[in-house]
Amino acid sequence: MLTATLLFAWLTSGGTTLVARRPAHVPADPPRILNVVRQKLKPGTSHSYESLETAIVAAFEQARVPLFWIMLQSRTDATDIVYLNVADSLEEWNELPARYRKAVAAHPELEKMSARLATFIERTTSTLTTRRNEIPFSRTGIDLQTMRAMRLTVFEISPGHEGRFVNAARGASDRAAPWLLYEANDAPTFMLVTPLRTAKHAKASALPHRLQGLKGDGTPSADGVYAVRLHMSRPPKGWMVR
């Protein structure tokens, strides 16, 4: 991610009362590029991490740095966190490091704060992925832009079996799926990203039976439900609308 220690990781009165209505959310196409950063915090550091990351969000806001991220936290383990960074293309993604370098050159305190944040982290895994368009996404009123929680299921596939996995995923839903399928750019790894209204809706996002039936490759290496932490996030414009 681009903060939190990684170059890569928001954003009347009177006779007649007029009520201003928020414009309805218009679902956008899911991001083509998704950087998924999974972090494990050191035991007992989650509160310190939260305090510092909240301050980092405020610092980036004040400096008006054009870098954004979504932070999520496991509903069962405060030391298990996930960051999402998005881009519409690889070209756009490749521009982000230059934005970060420009920002920290003008505001060195940003880099110092991120370095302090790193002291709370036990391990980090950053995976750059691209969306597989073969499987249409079911627009049922909740998407990445409006979710308040997310189920993340990771599959590490045997090399050479990627096509078999995608075919199974395509067949797991009749027409459209309530989840998005992303493939790692440099490894035989797939991620099912399921947007949720709240973490309580996790039971409704069970792993498709068609994928459960895949021996070996159908067993996820990681599967968890994470709640969006808005105070530790800096969403892109138009994201996290209420």
Residue 3 and residue 67 in contact, taking contact as beta carbons nearer than 8 Å: yes
Output the pTM of the full model: 0.85
3-state helix, strand, coil in the chain (%, to 5): 30, 25, 45
The residue to which tokens 């691209």 are assigned: 130
Phi/psi at 149 (5° precision): -160, 170
Q: Which residue ranges make up each domain of the chain?
A: 33-232
**Where does the chain show beta strands of DSSP type E?**
33-41, 70-74, 80-87, 121-131, 149-156, 180-184, 189-196, 222-228
pLDDT of 210 reads 61
CATH class, range 33-232: alpha beta
Phi/psi at 14 (5° precision): 130, -170
- Report the distance separating Cα 220 and Cα 212, nearest Å: 9
Per-residue model confidence as pLDDT tens for the chain (242 residues): 454 444 434 232 333 333 344 455 556 789 999 999 999 999 999 999 999 999 999 999 999 999 999 999 998 999 999 999 999 999 999 999 999 999 999 999 999 999 999 999 999 999 999 999 888 888 667 899 999 999 999 999 988 888 888 888 887 666 778 889 999 999 999 999 999 998 876 665 566 666 655 555 667 788 899 999 999 999 998 898 65
- Name 195's bridge partners: 150
| Both structure tokens of 233 | 């996030």
| Both structure tokens of 2 | 């681009």
Annotate 178-216 with b (16+ C-beta within 10 A) or e (fewer).
bbbbbbbeeebbbbbbbbbeebebbeebebbeebeebee
